[in-house]
Chain A
Amino acid sequence: MERGKKIKAGDIRTASRLIRDIEDSIPEAKATIKHIFPYTGKAQVVGITGSPGAGKSTIVDGLIETSRKKEQTVGVLAVDPTSPFTGGATLGDRIRMQRHSEDIGVFIRSLATRGSLGGLSKAVGDAIHVMDAMGKDIIFVETVGTGQQEVEIIHYAHTVIVVLVPGMGDEIQAIKAGIMEIADIFVINKADRDGAQKLQRELMTMIEMSHIPPGGWKPPVLTIRNSFKPEEFEHDLQILSAKVHEHYDFLISSDLIGDRQKRKRLHELNEAIRFSILEPVMEMLIRTGELDSMVEKLVKKESDPASLAEEIARKYLQGCF
């Protein structure tokens, strides 16, 4: 397959178009993904998440730099939100990484969420495969600015970096479930601001209290200072970069990488099932107008969602029930 070959040869234009076709749900794109799938699984995938304005893109920019110094080729997928009103999106992560735009060893692609709620785009899994098949050594996936709940990144990344900034709340925030649980590495960015040390202490207390199995990974809490002192920023970034690699090595040496791989594949299968089963049914319901009439029924209280879903399953998924 022509397109698959070009991807494997690292052709950026073809790769970016394929990612576009995946985003736009063009059926032919699936065939190309099937074709390149055997060539995936080599790249190290690093997720970066955290609240809006925490400094995720700037940190990715720094990590691109450290990776390039090690002569690694780099892919970046940067996700920003789609407007729920117009379907449009402003994709502005790349602005922090523009110094790498002419480097042929770096491929940066922005994605809009297009309605996905987990902090990523539903195209992200296949987009990672594309960059992986291109032969990128390391792929950084930057989520949208997240709150507490958007944890989908754990299904895609080997290593998850959670970026926090001082002044976001008291220590109760640190023991809540969700995003605070998914970090393999915590980064306190803007650490030259007031409250950074306090936040670091709180996080370390939280980590001490959490149950880490013997021989397990204990998430480090790193700090990054970056206000107008490039040499400090670079120094802190090098420590982060070393930790990212240490974590990856740890996954390999402790055989935990198999678990992560399984988690990733299970998620992919889930997504594929949704794509092949749920979406065609939804399309059918929309096309036939059944969906509208069902909503009417619900409004009038003539039925309930569970009964309607059972009705749909009986009608469209014969053999399963």
Chain B
Amino acid sequence: MSDTAKTYKIGQHPDLPPPRTEVGVLGWFKHKLFSTPLNIALTLLAAWFLWSVIPPLFEWIVLDSVWTAESRKECWGKMEVPEGGACWAFIKDRLELFIYGFYPAPQRWRVNLSFVLLIMAIVPVLYDKMLARKFGLWYSVAFPFIAGWLLVGGFGLTPVETDQFGGIMLTLIIGVTGISFSLPIGVLLALGRRSKMPVLRIVCVMFIEFIRGVPLIALLFIASTMLNYFLPPGTVFDLLLRVLIMVTLFSSAYIAEVVRGGLQAIPNGQFEAADSLGLTYVKAHLLIILPQALKISIPGIVNTFIGLFKDTTLVLIIGMLDPLGIGRASLADAVWAGLAREVYLFIALFFFICCFSMSRYSLYLERKLHTGH
């Protein structure tokens, strides 16, 4: 060190490369894994944990798994160690049940068609650079009604009872209906809660706080046991429809709170500017306030949707057969009983893929819309 200081004059020191332990792979290891004694301990602990969890799990899920078998016995018989691998043959055997529930087989093209239409309806909502997006959006608004007609039937199609709905299809029905109807209701509730009219405000506050204060399962119980008392005697009301209404009301209360947060973040100047332009309440909100407020609330809204999507599993408790319900019913079958892990993992994976992609999309939107400083 002192040597070099002597050899070179101040300001004429040639650039030395940084120490080898500070940059590159070594530097990364040093800083990201082994910087302090605590970090070393944590790294070793995490490495040990991963080493003891991932290889056995990989072996169970992939290497030792069995994909074709007629029963659990045959499945386990094919393995070197019984129960040493996953028996995916079970899921394969029940896949149609998991997707369509008990929807009559000759009519399943309607479910498939609705699914394709659903994807077509999602595209204009997600991509703002699409051609003729306005028409696409109109189609998206109309989609729940088209799909409802396709799935339930009538008007030329063979009617299908809604108690035959089940599986992933049921999850998507409840999720999509809840999502598409709770947003407008939620926005109205949020506006009502901020209204200057006391009656409207109190009604909205009471509704929102009541719904947010009770668990969804209690509301579903009300839908399944109590709602008949509220309707004129003799009214027959489809259980699925009752559940859809309850789920929509439930998530609209949460959406309302998220949107209210967004509305509160809009500075007063925006309202005043809209007023001074002579815009009416409706126009001011549609053109000025809501576009900004909704933009701020997008992460919260998507989070509410994710919650709603996950909560669709609760219909299992009032006896509807969502994937989880199908899974539990299949586990009761003596031929396959005892394969709970496979079923739960399969359903978990389905929900994970749906919810994780929703949350990723919301992150992407957040970044894209972050036009502030």
- Do A and B originate from a single complex? no
